[in-house]
Copies of this chain bind each other. A is one copy, B any other.
Amino acid sequence: MKHLLAVDWGTSSLRGAWMDAAGHVLEQRTFARGILSVAPGEFPAVFKACFGDWMQTPGAVCLMSGMVGSRQGWLEAPYCACPAGFEALAARLAWVVPGRVGVVPGLAYENEGIPDVMRGEETQVFGALQLLGLQDAVLVLPGTHSKWVRLQTGRIQSFSTFMTGEFYALLRQHSILARSMPTTDNEAGDDDHAFQQGVALALRSTSLLHTAFSTRTLSLFKRLPANALPSYLSGLVIGEELRAQTLEANTRVVIIGTEALTRRYQSALALRAVTAQRIGAQATWAGLWAIAQTLGSNLLKPA
């Protein structure tokens, strides 16, 4: 393998990184071509239009992670069961073009009869493992459906999903609470103090079903201005997610995601007296590169 094309193909966006054999990112591209925008059968054409030039390079290999491997994606890559290390993912790649274009499987984890799933986050976790030299950690990947992942001796032992971002959006846009708020978060702006207030209340309460109503009453009694309410509500949902975690003292917590969101989680975790480190989207590229390194030498030889 002289070059790796690392692709993160999710529900709403398509990102690619062109990497050299040493794992350096040479160039990146982003397209608004998430799998929801791609009709069945159209995947090869979209792929070629976006990355065809890179794939002309002799010996280039492409690995993709994310919803592209789901039933609605290009090629279904059945879930791997936990515990799983990245060698397990490498061994279970689904090949669109054998040895050339592969899809990383997602992970499934079952707890007391209830299954949980992820697609894409497993690759970010193994990337963080590479970048930070981790073997044991708790990792959180905040988002529409946040994932909390337990890594032990380099393998994902278990994980669980929290619909935090989606609950925020539902409450922000469609609930009675929306009536007290500015129409957009841009109008409202960030209010760190209100955010921390929300986190603190959630951490000492028992359910978002109850704390969410305080958004209404604090507004009704004019204790919080309308512009502070979105940040307060964000604190309530993120605080609820953190309240629900069992975190032993001295647990190493790693937050993977965008700058803005990982900072919010870091400041919320500080209210639980947990120190966390942040890592950005490069984790995906590092994860795909690490998986590529495990492929047989016949795929990895220089062109």
Known: A115-B217, A145-B213. A174 touches B163 (CB 8 A): no
Contacts of A131 in B (CB 8 A): none
Asked if A160 is an interface residue, CB under 8 A from chain B, the answer is yes
Contact residues on A (Cβ < 8 Å of other chain), bracket: 35 or more
Q: Is the CB of B209 within 8 A of A244?
A: yes
Question: Could you say which of A20-28, A56-64, A164-172 contacts chain B?
Answer: A164-172
Q: Is the CB of B210 within 8 A of A207?
A: no
Q: Taking the complex as formed, is A243 at the interface, i.e. its CB lies under 8 A from any CB of chain B?
A: yes
Contacts of A208 in B (CB 8 A): 207-209
A259 close to chain B: CB less than 8 A: no
Q: Which residues of B contact A265 (CB under 8 A)?
A: none
Interface residues of A in 113-132 (CB under 8 A from B): 114-117
- Find out whether the CB atom of A114 lies under 8 angstroms from the CB atom of B209: no
**In this assembly, does A161 line the interface, its C-beta being within 8 Å of a C-beta of chain B?**
yes
The residue among A114, A201, A208, A209 with the most chain B CB atoms within 10 A of its own CB is A209
Contact with B along A132-176 (1 / 0, CB 8 A): 000000000000010000000000000011111011001101111
A261 within 8 A of B: no
Which chain B residues border A209 with CB–CB below 8 Å?
162-164, 167, 208, 237, 240-241, 244
A218 at the interface (CB under 8 A from B): yes
Give the residues in chain B near A161, CB-CB below 8 Å: 210, 213
CB proximity to B under 8 Å, residues A208-263: 208-210, 212-214, 217-218, 220-221, 223, 237, 240-241, 243-244
Q: Please state if B116 and A213 are interface contacts (CB–CB under 8 Å).
A: yes
**Which A positions have Cβ atoms within 8 angstroms of B?**
112, 114-117, 145, 160-164, 166-167, 170-171, 173-176, 201, 204, 206-210, 212-214, 217-218, 220-221, 223, 237, 240-241, 243-244
